[in-house]
Structure 1
Amino acid sequence: MSLTKKQQRLRRARQTRIRIATQGVVRLLVNRTNLHIYASVISGDGTQVLASASTAEAEVRASLGGSGKGGNVAAAEVIGKRIAERAKAAGIEKVAFDRSGFAYHGRVKALADAAREAGLQF
């Protein structure tokens, strides 16, 4: 029995989350869909969302233009900066990057680079 594309991604994500959980550090979780990209900073024990940002927010959609194009690299960079600002406001400087099984490429990489530039360490 072969795994579907989604099952393969979730399997990769599970392995990463197990590794991060053993470290017990705060993690930056990234999720992407065709239309949007989401980022959350989650506590070390995984029980609390400490900060979040996404292209689904009305303010971000307005800044990206009327069409609300959240599925591109430029939008991912905006979210990377926003999540870094919100994390720093919550007193978080260092995180573990959880890409949810997505390839470190394109939008995921753009978000990570923008968050690093804005001062988040991982």
Structure 2
Amino acid sequence: MKALLAATLQSGDYVGFTFFIGSMAMLAATVFFFLEMKSVDRKWRTSLLVSGLITFIAAVHYYYMRDYWIQNGTSPTEFRYIDWILTVPLMCVEFYLILKAFGAKIGLLWKMIAYS
């Protein structure tokens, strides 16, 4: 039964608290990006969608990292790499979408992904 309960932060657990604040900030950013999609020019909508996906993935991973930290007291390295494997290519897509509005070519996207 204990495994089904969510991990609880203890007073003074600054690492766990930081993971929690990070997950809540990313979740708030996700909501903001998704709600703002209709209020921006059409050329920026996909960019906001990708931003929302990045922050949502990060929010979920930070939440799991908090639980891992609380239960084990060690750095959740595996979760960080999983997060990076998903979000870094998406960030490259995001940068490309922004630069595309100013004339960037698709080759730049593939260079950014390869370099990342």
TM-score (normalised: structure 1): 0.27
Please say which structure displays the higher CA radius of gyration.
2
TM-score (normalised: structure 2): 0.28
In proportion to residue count, which structure has more strand? Answer: 1
